[in-house]
Amino acid sequence: MPPHRLSTITAITSRYGWRGVKGLIIAATVALAGCATNGQNEQAESSMRAMRDSFLVQTKSDPLGAYLSSNQFPSYSNSQYPVNLGGSSKTIAGTALGVLGTKYKFGGNTPYTGFDCSGLVIYAAEKSLGLKLPRNSAQIAHEGISVKRNELRKGDLVFFNTRGHRYSHVGIYLGDEKFVHAPRTGAVVRVEDMSQSYWKKRYNGARRLADSSGRILSLN
């Protein structure tokens, strides 16, 4: 070991003792690990943002893509709903729209793993409202209060029969007959039109979320 390094170590040891040196080493290791974690989070957020932006570019020529980018609905633009893997978004709809393009993954409930339909709703509700929901769509269908179709508001949960039984699929209503959801294996989180015949004939109802005291939450 070079003499100057040895003298530096000797000086530190004399001042802090071996326990102090050990503590400094541990603190430095934790700090470096924290830097690595922050770097990984930044990379993950960048990857998610690229995935979402790519999805929006690929779909902008179809009707739903045009709807998302329309000036009539600026609140749905991706600039207002940035990817946010660690924090919370202001709205349940905004949180879900922030992960557009994320792959479908059965049992998934994070942007890292991918989402299934209930996983997306659970993720968005917890991040935006601090609300923990049950794990499957049939259980979620008992949360909050029932809402008539003609009284739907952005942020309400909409349910469909896609597997031969009621409430087998769930999404988040956006307004104007649109909803965001994680559809199926091989697909990605995307926006659909409830007025399309497939969804129209499978619609099972909607729920508006409430907290444990029954107070209706601000959704949007």
- What token pair was written down for 174? 């956006």
Residue of 35, 142, 165, 169 marked catalytic? 169
Residue of 35, 117, 142, 165 marked catalytic? 117
Determine whether 142 is an active site residue. Answer: no
CB 119 within 8 A of CB 108: yes
Task: Give the closest residue to 118 by CA, choosing from 105, 129, 130.
Answer: 105
Residue of 4, 35, 142, 181 marked catalytic? 181
> Residue 183 contacts by C-beta under 8 Å, 6 or more apart in sequence?
104, 117, 190, 192
Determine whether 4 is an active site residue. Answer: no
- Positive/negative CA dihedral, 200, 205, 210, 216: positive
- Positive/negative CA dihedral, 210, 107, 164, 149: positive
Q: What are phi and psi of 180, to 5 degrees?
A: -110, 140
CB 198 within 8 A of CB 87: no
Could you list the active site residues? 117, 169, 181
